[in-house]
Copies of this chain bind each other. A is one copy, B any other.
Amino acid sequence: MLSPDEILAVIEDGGFRSTASRRRLADVLTSHEEGFTAEELVAETPGVGRATVYRTIRLLVEQELLCKLSLPDGTPRYTLAQRGHHHHVVCQNCGSVREFRQSAMERMLKELESSDGDVVTGHRIEVFVVCAECLVRGVVPTNVHQH
Contacts and interface: CB of A to CB of B under 8 A. Distances in A.
Interface in A4-50: none
Query: Assembly of this chain: how many copies?
Result: 2
Contacts of A76: 74
A contact residues, range: 35 or more
Contact of A124 (B67, B86, B126, B130): B126
B122 A144 contact: yes
Given A70-B74, A88-B147, A98-B116, A121 B104 contact: no
Interface in A84-141: 85-89, 91-92, 98, 100, 102, 104-105, 108-109, 112, 115-132, 135, 141
A112 B127 contact: yes
Contacts of A118: 89, 91, 129-132, 135
A117 B146 contact: no
Contacts of A129: 116, 118-121
B117 A128 contact: no
